[in-house]
Chains A and B, each alone.
Chain A
């Protein structure tokens, strides 16, 4: 079975990579970089991307540096994440940095322990508050809602020239945060959405919300939904002959979301995201995508690339002489990193990513093209 073959291959490859990393002969400079991410539970799709990105980056250790790494599944509870961090960093082995969960509640729980142990947490969590705790040990390599939703709203208003958006968002913390930033950004642009409604992530039929949104006579549909609900919305809208442009949230850029839809259903659909590795754009990004496919048998997304860039910046710091967690923290805080997705630099709070892109589908393929890039976005801070 294809799925089984792919799973076995991906598992074997991950195992082989980690075994190779763990089996690196101990040297005078042998450091730990644990990967603590949710590979089971409701965030397993994104968490698996995060794991893959970190594992791929850690394959390329700087010369003379031994990299030890283990992947620990943090599941969905904060307690599990704290225990994982305690296991990984509290044992006395030299740990220079941790690839840490993208689940905001887990990050918030891990932050005090990271401060106590003095170990940098490198994450792609989008939860705004993780960098608002005054904790100098957290570094986010993924643009928060203040950046992505600014790009989202600006594309709708400035590029598409739409003034009557209907905003449909999830009722989860992710959805509410995105909706709040979209609302603020639209307000800044002088646009008032004609329709706004939250949808439960478990909703099976989105025709009711589509019907109500259309009744408000919008000129564009703006989505901020998770992966499956995004695909469901677009499929149902297409089935009912809706021809309005759709500008979706970052879940749409994930290749696994596009895989659920026929290319024709994607015509006129755009999405915001931090990056779209499958869209190419540079030889380095294409090489990353090819390497990722070969290693894991699946397509990379922005979470994988963000975590990859983050861990590469950590390893660059080590290559530059950082031999303690504090030296790594200092390098991440003050440095600048030309990553594959964007150029990263800290804003003083650990927010490293300040760019976003808009990708659009042409109706003939499931691979989107980058339509617009927004750099150095500050957005409306909540």
Chain B
């Protein structure tokens, strides 16, 4: 029963991490650039939700679209300021510019909202459900459902719509996409917007149960990076799987070992995966594409 309880918590945490990793991998695929500001964008989404909550006293599920919309706008701004002017420069330029964006977001958040930890409203309710002896926080259940819906919707857009096909074409070969008449710059902007909206959603989901501070982003970008490396560089299903693996180590393995040992075991697993499958768990498709 305890194991089941821990699994439920682990899946809920993994679902939120998956949204963080998803935004990261989307931008990575579209621009071949690592967006080191992704963790701080998640933090910004959480603080935005916490700031909006007193003025829009509605459940988090109704706040979610507003947060995602504002964050999408922020994503456009980040793209315009930190990526587009540098896109023809060596990749390291974009690395540095996104690190700078992260620092600006972190210090801006400290200035605007103060250094105190904040909590965003729950998606539906803040209580717990007791199911067959399992105590499941309503927020945990809601996180799993909402994250699954968002990831599913995104997969549908990418796989089944003309817009999604254009985004994928831009990600696969920008020059060829441009030659085919696809507005590559607009597609890159859209990718940043979607990726940052995902960050905003993850921020709102995480900030209720686990709180958010202006310095929360650093740890999240590390987890997104590990998830993408573990799952396969550029693979969306891999990013989701990687995020779940991280959460299961943090919640389930740490219940058997200690938390520091569980983290060490996670890194050891990451190294083992990279030795056996350097392309990551789901990296094959990405390799073919390259």
Binding site for B on A (CB under 8 A): 1-4, 6-7, 10-11, 39-42, 44-45, 47-48, 171, 197-200, 202-205, 207-209, 211-212, 227-228, 231-232, 239-241, 256-257, 259-260, 298
Contacts and interface: CB of A to CB of B under 8 A. Distances in A.
A42 B115 CA distance: 9
Nearest to A7: B112
A200 B267 CA distance: 15
A3 B115 contact: no
B114 A7 contact: yes
Given A7-B113, A209-B254, A257-B117, A40 B106 contact: yes
10 contacts: A2-B54, A2-B55, A7-B111, A7-B114, A199-B259, A204-B250, A205-B9, A209-B259, A240-B135, A257-B117
Given A3-B51, A45-B115, 18 more contacts: A6-B114, A7-B112, A39-B110, A44-B214, A202-B219, A204-B210, A204-B250, A205-B247, A205-B250, A211-B2, A228-B210, A232-B211, A239-B128, A239-B135, A256-B116, A256-B117, A260-B117, A260-B119
A227 B12 CA distance: 23
A150 to B, nearest CB: 26
Nearest to A259: B116
Contacts of A41: 215
Contacts of A198: 258-260
A251 B51 CA distance: 23
A43 to B, nearest CB: 9
Interface in B203-245: 206, 209-211, 213-215, 219
Contacts of A202: 219
A40 B117 contact: no
B114 A200 contact: no
A198 B255 CA distance: 12
Given A39-B110, A200-B260, A227 B117 contact: yes
Contacts of B263: 200
A89 B259 CA distance: 44
A227 B250 CA distance: 20
Nearest to A43: B115
A208 B259 contact: yes
A227 B118 CA distance: 11
Nearest to A47: B115
A41 B250 CA distance: 25
B5 interface: yes
Given A203-B259, A205-B10, A209-B254, A42 B215 contact: yes
The secondary-structure label for the interface of chain A is helix
Contacts of A203: 250, 254, 259
A197 B259 contact: yes
Nearest to B107: A40
Given A45-B213, A205-B9, A205-B10, A3 B255 contact: no
A1 B51 contact: yes
A65 to B, nearest CB: 32
Kindly list the 9 A-B residue pairs having the minimum CB-CB distance in the complex, ordered from nearest.
Answer: A208-B255, A44-B115, A256-B116, A45-B115, A202-B219, A228-B117, A208-B254, A228-B211, A204-B210
Nearest to B262: A208
Interface in B113-146: 113-119, 128, 135, 137
Nearest to B126: A262
B223 to A, nearest CB: 9
B156 to A, nearest CB: 29
Contacts of A44: 110, 115, 214-215
A4 B137 CA distance: 31
A323 to B, nearest CB: 36
Interface size range of chain B in the complex: 35 or more
A45 B252 CA distance: 31
B13 interface: yes
Interface centre among A6, A239, A259 (most CB of B within 10 A): A239
Contacts of B2: 211
A260 B258 contact: no
B251 A260 contact: no
A40 B110 contact: yes
Interface string B76-87: 000000000000
A171 B192 CA distance: 36
B162 to A, nearest CB: 38
A240 B50 CA distance: 25
Given A200-B259, A231-B117, A259-B116, A1 B6 contact: no
A308 to B, nearest CB: 18
A253 B5 CA distance: 31
Contacts of A2: 54-55
Contacts of B50: 3
A48 B115 contact: yes
Contacts of A197: 258-259
B259 A3 contact: no
Given A7-B112, A204-B250, A205-B9, A239 B211 contact: no
A259 B115 CA distance: 13
Nearest to A210: B255
B111 A11 contact: yes
A211 B111 CA distance: 38
Nearest to A214: B2
A7 B110 CA distance: 9
Contacts of B215: 41-42, 44
B13 A205 contact: yes
Nearest to A198: B260
Interface centre among A6, A44, A232, A257 (most CB of B within 10 A): A44
Nearest to B135: A240
Contacts of A7: 111-114
Nearest to A197: B258
A51 to B, nearest CB: 11
Nearest to B223: A202
Contacts of A6: 114
